[in-house]
Structure 1
Amino acid sequence: MKKLLLSISLIFAAFSTNAQNVYSYGFNSPTATMIGADGWTRTNQSTSPSTTSLWTVANYATSTASATNQGVFQNQVYANGATVQIPNGQAGGPNSFALVNYTSTTSTATTGATISNWLISPIVTVQNGDIVTFYTRIGKYSATGEASFADRLQLRMSTAGAFSSDPTGGPTGVGDYTNLLVDVNPNLDLTSYPTTWGQFSYTVSGLTGLTDVKFAFRYFVTNGGANGSNSDIIGIDTFSVDRPTANTQDFFAGNFAIQPNPVSDVFTLSTKNGVAIEKVEVLDINGRIVSQVNGSATEALQVNVSDLNSGVYFVRVQSDLGVGTSKIIKK
């Protein structure tokens, strides 16, 4: 029995893998590299847009001349009361993050203006179940946990890949970036935007398979600008798209069911969340495939194991979300 249990544990270990990183960007390179070799693009569609105030990689320097402005991302911490400590991103060293601010609009209207300033990623190939994460924070620090001015950030996605149309036509246009994934502080209050680096995430869904997409960060603030009631300065960092470990027993239990188990002749494999089954394999305790059924993207399959000897087997399911594995007993 001990030898059998050891074999079972080794089989599960063989089926488990680490999450695969699909794409990551830490905003460590200078702005010219970000929008050049690294493939990011920018467009400012704000009311009365500034042609110079775009998303940039931070480039603070230790200078006493503009100490107040340069301290906004480090909780106003200074060395010797004058020299600025260069702010760090969520990961990496000093200046390793991207930022944008209220000068996105040049409007001087007393009622403020709408800011819509975009930072767009290069093409990333994703599938359902991929997890998109990033970190963001406001620049100004307050001991009460409140911002001086409310800020807002959206993460959007275009499924048109290389043919994606950029936003045009002013602050209401979104181009092909019609999929809103994350909306940070949509109500523009003073307490909901993180004052330290906070992580946000989205699990990709609704795709038909592997899809070339582009992601876009949109600094989107109404009543913003120099005279507006909202908008100040925000940063983003550590943008990542990861394909999580899907071939574990927990993944199987969360998405599939086997009936009956133990099984005499035929078992039915069904999905719990509408996951499309692509292939089902039955393996013996040595990891050898002893039966296989193609799913043709159906949501339930019957698998005949009547010709197998009694014992413990494993069912490995390939689906549109990943691969899951579970144990069955053949009577």
Structure 2
Amino acid sequence: MKIKIYTALLILVSSASQAQTLLTENFDTFPVTWTKTNQSQPVGTSNWQQGNVSSFGGGFNGGATSYTAVNYNSVASGMSGTISNWLISPIVSLKDGDVIKFYTRAGANFSSTPDRLELRLSTVGSSTINPSTGSSDLGSFTYLAVSVNPLLAPNVYPVTWTEYTYTVGSLPDATDCKLAFRYFVTNGGPTGANGNAIWVDALTVNRVLSTDTFFKSNFSVFPNPTSNVLNITNNSDSAINNIQVTDINGRIVKEVKINTNQINISELNAGVYLLKISTDNGTGTTKIVKS
């Protein structure tokens, strides 16, 4: 019977999850910690830049210029060629299950001119080699995570802000990485048949955490087991909004809806319970024992 109780408890603890934000970039201003390199051939004067006020609206999160943009002038004036223009993030630690999300749209109210965007990863952190020898050079960014309009077809690139996501795989351990947006268009440029302009906004990288992992990262409780008062140490940067104690059947047997560092469980029967603490940053759950 005890084995069944503890098994049910573990299932309950591990079933819910939180998200830890590893990286956020809303491009409200152009990020000085990012690197841009235009490897287009023949190379033009244009590069990734802060968004401009236009009749096509502003960034995904609002703000007339709150996005980053790049266009066909990546290739030299009066020429056609291959656009390969890169915007590279600072180091972010990634592992399997992390979710990369961003929004993009064509920089106009039409998409008949073919455009393409790639999201690529370098998995060597500070040893990353940036592309430097022309349009075919990938540097260390050999891992293609997302390709928007991979076939470079007309009328495909979205004309409204559209979400794209990628769930990290093949990184079982936390690994220092860099992300790169690559504006990649063949037969592009001022006189090419392809390539107009694209915008990017609202990049986030999130890690899904089990509620027990969230708890261990933010709280500790003592003494455990206890016969009466359970003390709570809050190591997070957010106040406690709610504390619940539930039995193994999921029934709430004690609840405190204030910011406190103690909860008295003296009236509960001896046994195993779940303690759930909720904050603005997430909810954590751990096992407690009433003696």
TM-score (norm 1): 0.59
- The worse-fitting range, judged by mean Cα deviation, of 39-48 and 186-195 is 186-195
Inter-partner Cα distance in structure 1 for 2:106 and 2:52: 17
Give the superposition deviation at 1:25.
0.6
1:19–1:229 distance in 2 versus 1, CA, 3 Å: same
Aligned partner of residue 18 in structure 2, secondary structure: coil
Is the strand fraction higher in 1 or 2? 2
Are 1:154 and 2:122 matched, yes or no?
no
Q: Which amino acid aligns with 1:16?
A: A
- Which residue is equivalent to 1:218? 182
Inter-partner Cα distance in structure 2 for 1:131 and 1:11: 23
Are 1:238 and 2:209 matched, yes or no?
no
1:33-75 per-residue CA deviation (whole Å, 9 max, x = no partner) reads x12xxx100000000212x411011132xxxxxxxxx33xx1x
- Correspondences of 1:162-173 after superposition (within 5 Å): 162-173=126-137
Size of the aligned set, in residue pairs, is 215
Q: Which amino acid aligns with 1:40?
A: W
- Correspondences of 1:1-331 after superposition (within 5 Å): 12=12, 16-29=16-29, 31=30, 34-35=31-32, 39-50=33-44, 52-60=45-53, 70-71=54-55, 74=56, 87-106=57-76, 108-109=78-79, 112-142=80-110, 147-246=111-210, 285=248
Contact 1:47 1:107 in 2 (8 A): no
Q: Which amino acid aligns with 1:229?
A: A
Give the superposition deviation at 1:16.
3.3
1:90-149 per-residue CA deviation (whole Å, 9 max, x = no partner) reads 11322110000000010534xx3100000000000111100001000001213xxxx231
1:139-191 per-residue CA deviation (whole Å, 9 max, x = no partner) reads 1213xxxx231100000000010110000210000000000000000111122
Q: Which amino acid aligns with 2:94?
A: V
Identity value in percent = 45
Q: Which amino acid aligns with 1:124?
A: V
Cα root mean square deviation, aligned: 3.1
1:16–1:148 distance in 2 versus 1, CA, 3 Å: closer
Inter-partner Cα distance in structure 2 for 1:14 and 1:127: 19
TM-score (norm 2): 0.67
